[in-house]
Structure 1
Amino acid sequence: MSWPAVALGEVADINPRGPGRGELAPSAEVDFVPMASVSEGGEMTVSERRTYDEVSKGFTAFKPSDVLLAKITPCFENNKIAKSKVSTKYAFGSTEFHVLRGKPEALDPDYLTYFLRQDHIREAGERRMTGSGGQRRVPKTFLEELKIPLPPLEEQKRIAGILDQAAELCRLRTRALDKLSILGQAIFHEMFGDPVDNPKGFPRKKLLEIVDIIGGSQPAKKHFLYDDGPGRVRFVQTRDFRTDAYKTYVPEDLAKRPFSEDDVIIGRYGPPVFQIFRGLAGTYNVALMKAQPIGEITKDFVFHLLQEPKLHGYVVANSERTAGQSGVNLDLLKDYPVYAPPIELQTDFSQRLTEVDTVTRNARRQNLEAQTLFASLQHRAFRGEL
């Protein structure tokens, strides 16, 4: 079934005016939504209120059920687009939001939100951005001219309802993964306790007595290669633990700091500083360090020890700042008090982690299936195939 496509500006007001003169008292409380309160998954959290007098100038006004779209890079590319869920007549937020208010007789806000969150819409918006560097923005005209398929209002609501169910499944799968991601740390704390308090009475050690910190190596950029091949080793930088979009390789003879997927890698610079990584292999650069266990200490133990809240918070709070970056001061680690539990207990810990990993892999597969289902439904929804 095909529906007429109309310019979004014909069925929605883009950046409508805020409260009129005298509509809100200066002392009236309004919900406040900074950019950080809109997630990349399309959810909005409201945890702050301000008086109208505080926000009447310099902030963006909107109403319940308006659609907020982050216009600035990289927030737009990260899909910070959500339907407003505020409880005050007017709310205010970042000046980097576009506000879209559908005409109630023509456009359902949930339908509009799902339409705007499509990948191809985001890609089209990126191509229309104006400005330079980190200040590029999606112009209002892009939204005004954007063509949206417009079925009858009841059909829009039906489509949005189907997508709501699929999106909720994705959220549940993601939450399950989030809980599993902290389960290993919970098991560590249960088995070993806080390293400073040492409630189990394990032999006392200083951190650098059980872990050797090995800094990275930095070949000249002229040696960088961007395709894999014989005699090449992946050159790993901090960003590579977040994305595979920028894979870089170097000749084998320049791979001075080899590491494997089970090695523990520390992010030396921030923000955020002192990130603890695993899962890649290759050779690592000077922004990374390898935490190599000494003696009867396992890599699994070290990986979770470095993420214990007191140790992690201590290093982050006392990190140096150089050239605008936070950097781990190795002297902070040298004398930090830790412990050395029996190797048998560490081995038992690793076995429990293996069980968690099996459950996590299944959860990732289920999450991917849910994401694939949602993407398929979203694609079909706006083609009239649901």
Structure 2
Amino acid sequence: MSDNGVSWPKCKLKNILGEPLVNGRSVPTRDDGFPVLRLTSIKSRLIDLSECKGGDWTESQAKPFLVREGDFLISRGNGSADLVARGAVVPKVDADVAFPDTMIRIRVDADIVLTQYLALVWESPEVRDQIKKAARTTSGIYKVNQKSIGEIEIPVPPLEEQRRIAHVLGRSETLRVKRREAIALLDHLAQSVFLEMFGDPVSNQKAWTQQRLCDLGTVVTGNTPPRAQAENYGDVIEWIKSDNISHGEAFLTEASERLSLEGVSKARLAKPGSLLVTCIAGSPSSIGNVAITDREVAFNQQINSFSPSDGNSLFYYFLLRLAKPLILEKSTGGMTGLVSKSRFGSVSLIDPPLALKERFSRGAESIVAMRNAQRAHLAELDRLFASVQHRALRGELWADTSAPE
């Protein structure tokens, strides 16, 4: 910390609550039932109140679980440690809605902590690290509970300082949200073009000829060079795992682990333009996630690669992304997920004329290029936000006590 920094006191969440932590309630779905939020309502900074369903319960049964403006809702579980306990603030509520058993409701003491400040500090590396350490895995799902969440420590500056921090970080977050929205619109555009040209690949509503995936290209299962031989690991080539394949992201993220030349000689490699598909995962929802390789990589046994014979990687990326239910049908892993190489290769996919595939790929290439530019801008905003967040929470953001303009 710099000489000008301030060390804010830290408090456990359980000691700054206005009301006890509360888990939601699990209720069956009923179309005309009392509304209950879906887990997907946790978006960015604010809860999306339109993301709800009808629950099979009465208004009186739902009453203890109604949300109100300023509540902070977090997820109780997720297949990714990076996403467990992510949260959002409830905005103004115009119609009663309850929260489900997949969430924990946090109501802080407004005389100690502002909810908007809590939401921003909750995403700081300091707090996220505590959450990851507190999370426990069950069948591949990371989970938190009231006790573990109550022990999370956060810096608690004076309320006026919290307002200033929330003001500055809130403006930065608004820019990030707008960039994410632009990326989502480009994603939707590319997918809409695909559906317009080829229809839904699951139902094959345009009655295209169909072929097995293994007849449309080459399928290879990855592997793991022996861990006992340390010389297999180094810094020569990325070794991709399933967490480098994110749903909705066209290209692989950077691997945290690399192989040596010795390891490369024992590994399975994917050339640029191949598609890597998650076929073994702790959670079935991750099965079928797909990404394009834009560089040569090695990959592990949880992943199958597909190299299309005609080279139309972007066409097959969107095809496999939309045909994910067909891949899930091949899973034999029960509560987890497992699609063998042979079952993956047997997935029946639409096979429209080559000219149409190429036409789509040309258009999609432009959209993906724009999307990548937006992603680069977002990454820069993320770095700026992290820097401002770090300085603000250490009391280093302002040299004087005047409020920011």
Aligned twin of 1:111: 117
- The separation in 1 between residues aligned to 2:15 and 2:335, in whole angstroms, is 49
Q: Which residue of 1 aligns with 2:351?
A: 339
1:170, distance to aligned residue in structure 2 (A)? 1.0
Provide, for residues 93-136 of structure 1, a one-character-per-residue CA deviation record: whole Å limited to 9, x for no partner: 43762623223x55432223223332223334555x38787556
1:296-352 deviations in whole A, cap 9, x for unaligned?
Answer: 453333333333x4x443332353336842425745754836335245x54443332
Is the 1:234–1:283 contact (alpha carbons within 8 Å) kept by the matching residues of 2?
A: yes
Q: Is the 8 A contact 2:280 2:338 kept in 1?
A: yes
Determine the C-alpha separation between the residues in 1 that align with 2:8 and 2:348.
67
Which SS does the other structure have where 1:213 is aligned?
strand
> Is 1:178 paired with 2:184?
yes
Q: CA deviation at 1:356?
A: 1.9
Gap change, CA 1:373 and 1:30, over 3 Å in 2: farther
Q: Match of 2:109?
A: 102
Deviation readout 1:155-211 (Å, 9 max, x if unpaired): 644543443332222111111112223433333344455563447xx8x45234333
1:247 matches 2:247: no
1:285 corresponds in structure 2 to 300
**Structure-2 separation of matches of 1:332 and 1:75:** 24
Identity %: 17
Partner of 1:300: 314
What root-mean-square deviation, in Å, do the aligned CA atoms of Structure 1 and Structure 2 show? 4.1
Structure 2: where are the runs of 5+ without partners?
24-32, 247-252, 399-403
Q: How much has 1:151 moved relative to structure 2?
A: 3.9
Asked whether the 8 Å contact 2:221–2:303 carries over to 1, the reply is yes
In structure 2, the CA distance between the partners of 1:135 and 1:354, relative to structure 1 (3 Å rule), is: closer
Alignment of 1:198-237 (within 5 A): 198=206, 204=209, 206-207=211-212, 208-223=214-229, 227-229=233-235, 232-237=236-241
SS of 1:266's equivalent in the other structure is: strand
SS at the partner of 1:68?
Answer: strand
Q: Who wins on radius of gyration, i.e. which is larger?
A: 1
TM-score, length basis structure 1: 0.72
> What does residue 150 of structure 1 align with?
158
1:365 aligned residue: 376
TM-score normalised to structure 2 length: 0.70
Match of 1:175, SS state, is: helix
Report the residue type matching 1:236 in the other structure: I
Contact 1:71/1:98 (CA < 8 Å) preserved in 2? no
For the residue of structure 2 that corresponds to 1:97, the secondary structure is strand
Q: Distance in 1 between matches of 2:16 and 2:149?
A: 15
Aligned partner letter, 2:157: P
Distance in 1, matches of 2:148 and 2:349, equals: 54
Which structure 1 segments of 5+ residues have no match? Answer: 19-28
Find the counterpart in structure 1 of residue 289 from structure 2. Answer: 275
Aligned partner letter, 2:193:
I
AA partner of residue 111 (structure 1): Y
1:149 match: secondary structure? coil
**2:325 paired with 1:313:** yes
| Counterpart Cα distance in 1 of 2:21 and 2:334 | 44
Mean Cα displacement is larger for which, 108-117 or 72-81?
Answer: 72-81
Does residue 17 of structure 2 align to residue 15 of structure 1? no
Aligned pairs, number: 358
**2:70 partner amino acid:** S
Q: Is the 8 A contact 2:14 2:151 kept in 1?
A: no
Q: Are 1:125 and 1:142, in contact at CA under 8 Å, matched by a contact in 2?
A: no
Task: Report 1:54-203 matches (<5 A).
Answer: 54=61, 63-69=68-74, 78=83, 80-85=86-91, 86-87=93-94, 91-94=98-101, 97=104, 99-103=106-110, 105=111, 107-124=113-130, 126=132, 129=134, 134=142, 137=145, 139=148, 142-143=151-152, 146-152=154-160, 156-193=162-199, 196-198=204-206
Further displaced range: 79-88 or 357-366: 79-88
